Structure 1
Amino acid sequence: VIIWDFDTMSILHRLKLLHKVLIQSLTFSFNEMYLASVGGQDDANLVIWDIESGNAVCGNPTGTNAVNRICFYNNSDDRLISIHDYQVLIWSADYSNKKISNDLVNLGQVKRKFTCVVIDHSDSFAYMGTKTGDIVEISLGKAMYKRI
């Protein structure tokens, strides 16, 4: 991954990737201090990078279920969401201790392959598109399914 400064058209960092073959998804924090990357199915690791230093800050395996997309919250640089085939995880980063942990969203009986995600401006709800064309709403505060 190469991070560019668009104002000067110069390279800021060439990140030494901790992923094996490919990067499935990238997302910047709202304040542009952090970049999160997740590897493909053969890698399945989520890594958060400090953009100023170019160093990895923390990382964690995402599990056996492939990640389709990741997205930072709109008002927090230490919270993000990952959408998978059939599951959704909410991640919390502790930058001072270099750790990241997750909570599994309770989807009840909903079984969908999630393809895209948008978080509302207040970071209260997330909306995920599915391969069947549905839009699923979840409450981020309660980590629970709301409705299709």
Structure 2
Amino acid sequence: MWQGWRNVTVDPPAPAAVCPLVRTEVIDRLVPAHGPPQVGEQNAPGLRTIYCLVKSEQSRATYLWVSLGRFGRHEGRGPRCVDRDGLQTVFNGRNHRLALGDSAVYFLAGDAATGRRVNFSTCLGTYGVVVAYEAYDTADAPMVESAAAVAQEVLSWL
């Protein structure tokens, strides 16, 4: 019986649409001259995710990708976001922790000339929020603060 319970998958209900959870003025400020948001789902066993992608229509395409995922039970793991192995770990870079939600980490990639990107993820209960923000000629600290602010906006609705 234990083996059967351990292997059960319980898919969670879908999370709320994520684009409306981030204020329009925040998106306008972070991604100037952007087109309409692209939305979609990325689901896996025991996980339902809704995402929002906003891209600049300028030649240097700044973008903001925000996803809101909700966890269920899968392969013996419960629905708590922080219990998911490897969810908040990058293997080829340096993780930085922040105090947000139950757990939050970010890492930086790329460079200012070709596009610097911050990947930010945070957990709160059964929810996970991931923010990827790419911009040019921007220092690291403002990029991290921007990604954290977007994640905080989403978390504030949960």
TM over 0.5: no
Give me the TM-score of the superposition, normalised by structure 2: 0.28
More helix by share: 2
Give me the TM-score of the superposition, normalised by structure 1: 0.30
Q: Which has the larger radius of gyration?
A: 2
More strand by share: 1
